[in-house]
Amino acid sequence: PKERLFATLDRQPVDRIPVAQPLQTGTVELMKSCNAYWPQAHSDPELMAALAYEAYKVIGFESVRVPFDINMESEAMGCVLNFAAGSNKGLDIQPPVKTPPMTGPDDFENVIDPDPYKDGRMPVILKAIKILKKMVPDTIPIFSLVVGPFMVAGQVRGVDAFMRELMRKPECCVNVIERAHKACLNFALAQAEAGSDCIVIADATASPDLISPLQFEKYAKPYTKDICDKIPIRSILHICGKAHSILAHMSEVTSGISIDSSVDIAEAKGKVGENTAVCGNVDVNTVLLFGDPPDVEAAVKTCIDKRVDLLTTSCGIPSVVPTANLKAMVEAGKKYGAKT
């Protein structure tokens, strides 16, 4: 599986499509089966590794992936998170940002330039990667997450204020983005050193649903590309939403792009060309969440018919998706994904 994934991202021939999961894998059913629950598994490296391993062991994904939330960098930079969010006190909800460290566009007094080996939960993720390196066979790739600098900047400033200032005071936003970029790059390099096989960069805030393609090209793309260029391992870029207008830009960042279900795989393939691996995009919010195994199998076949390069989900897996549907996805991918 690791060789198959690497060959896919390097645009080399493979025997079949990889069925790996570079996006969030923690579900309540998996938590129960390995006794590693949120929110504790967000902060305990042993629990984090155990829950990540369960997605490989039980579902059959050809990979493992840590962590499960998107606030490691922002927390280490000074954001306060709510680990007990929702009616189940964080069991089925990823911890959101409760309070950003910035109260104004130039207020950096409480913003930290984090050391990935010391600050926030960054050391937890690094330790979980090292634990997984010993747990999983060497044939199974380890994915780890870095949140895109543009998104981290929005979290640190406060997304609403950041988006307004992007229109009115863009130079202030650039200052935050540059601080975030430094934190993200250092964290990515530390993950590679810890044993990660592939860095996944997720940047929901950089979606065309929120900013224009010109803003993406100026404020998000160069910082993310710099990370991909400087890390010594492979990378995949995931952008949520209707990313049609930035697909070409995404393909210039790295050789693997992950797309949401709102983007047609065939259209994406046509726009990015054969030098980019398109990853996706079984819909997590309809088919996997509310469908049944036959629905999942049909969705997988559609992805394969449209020439997807790496079969995965459209976004991070919601924590209440049933294991049966995820197993059906993996089984169908292996059944129908053979290259002829």
Tell me the per-residue pLDDT of 57-90, one tens digit each, with 9 for 90 and over: 999 999 999 999 999 999 999 999 999 999 999 9
Tell me the per-residue pLDDT of 84-117, one tens digit each, with 9 for 90 and over: 999 999 999 999 999 999 999 999 999 999 999 9
Residue 339: its pLDDT value, please?
Answer: 81
Tell me the per-residue pLDDT of 253-297, one tens digit each, with 9 for 90 and over: 999 999 999 999 999 999 999 999 999 999 999 999 999 999 999
Q: What percent of the chain has pLDDT over 70?
A: 100
Residue 265: its pLDDT value, please?
Answer: 97
Residue 167: its pLDDT value, please?
Answer: 94
Indicate the Cα dihedral angle 284, 286, 290, 291, nearest 10°. Answer: -90
Say how far apart CA 318 and CA 102 lie, in whole Å.
Answer: 30
Name the token pair of 125.
């993720």
Say how far apart CA 244 and CA 248 lie, in whole Å.
Answer: 9
Look over the chain and give the mean of its residue pLDDT values, rounded to a whole number. 97
Tell me the per-residue pLDDT of 163-180, one tens digit each, with 9 for 90 and over: 999 999 999 999 999 999
Q: Which of 206, 199, 249, 205 is nearest to 229 (CA)?
A: 199
Q: Report if pTM > 0.85.
A: yes
Q: Which of 223, 271, 222, 224 is nearest to 243 (CA)?
A: 271
Residue 340 has pLDDT above 90, yes or no: no
Over residues 33-50, the mean pLDDT reads 98
Residue 2: its pLDDT value, please?
Answer: 98
Residue 15: its pLDDT value, please?
Answer: 97
Say how far apart CA 330 and CA 340 lie, in whole Å.
Answer: 19
**pLDDT band of 182, cuts 50, 70, 90:** very high
